[in-house]
Amino acid sequence: GEDVEQSLFLSVREGDSSVINCTYTDSSSTYLYWYKQEPGAGLQLLTYIFSNMDMKQDQRLTVLLNKKDKHLSLRIADTQTGDSAIYFCAESTSGTYKYIFGTGTRLKVLA
Amino acid sequence: GAVVSQHPSRVICKSGTSVKIECRSLDFQATTMFWYRQFPKQSLMLMATSNEGSKATYEQGVEKDKFLINHASLTLSTLTVTSAHPEDSSFYICSASRRTEAFFGQGTRLTVV
């Protein structure tokens, strides 16, 4: 079945860039998403990318997609302490609203 | 963006009782909603797809008699955890989709004592 993998932890210093990686197996994925989850809270959509794109930039966030390798990354520029959270990548296929989530990456930003 | 409201945000119940969690799409109609479960420090696992006016579709390994889903209207889906046990303690999140985007509720933390 579909599988989405992420590294579990990432620690960066305030002001540095963070890069969170994600790999997926479903070649029919149409949309790929990045969500942020703060402690005890629901999910906040950060950004998403269509599978026919290879890059999307939105303020401090840059998403890169390598469809051939089924690899997705999220770069956060000038990382702040408020960015500390768990980041999930997720994929869905056109025509369904069923999301498959990655394992989540816990980002810790050190002051 | 669209708003999905989940209620309650926290609930503590005694073992053996049932708990109902509501998921409402406040500003759009959702024919399909989804229920996820999140174990501590783990990812979200899809439990079931809730379809308005018909039976829910459960993922493999999810007991449909244990987790009752009702989607009686285009704006409301409910998840009832029946005869709850401590192992049912978890964070439950619903989502409702509009066009290409899913909107998530704020989650319900269930603790069974």
State pLDDT tens for residues A1-49: 568 899 889 999 999 999 999 999 887 778 899 999 988 778 888 999 9
Among A107, A109, A110, which Cα is nearest to A37's?
A: A107
Q: Is A79 on the interface with B (CB under 8 A)?
A: no
CB A80 within 8 A of CB A72: no
Closest alpha carbon within chain A to B1: A45
The tens digit of pLDDT for each residue in A66-102 reads 999 999 999 999 999 999 999 999 988 766 677 889 9
Q: What are phi and psi of B77, to 5 degrees?
A: -130, 140
The tens digit of pLDDT for each residue in B58-113 reads 999 999 999 999 988 889 999 999 999 999 999 999 999 877 678 889 899 999 99
B interface test, pick of A2, A97, A106 with most B CB neighbours within 10 Å: A97
Inter-chain touch B34–A97, beta carbons under 8 Å: yes
In the three-class reduction of DSSP (H, G, I as helix; E, B as strand; rest coil), residue B86 is classed as helix
**A-chain residues near B6 (CB < 8 A):** 42
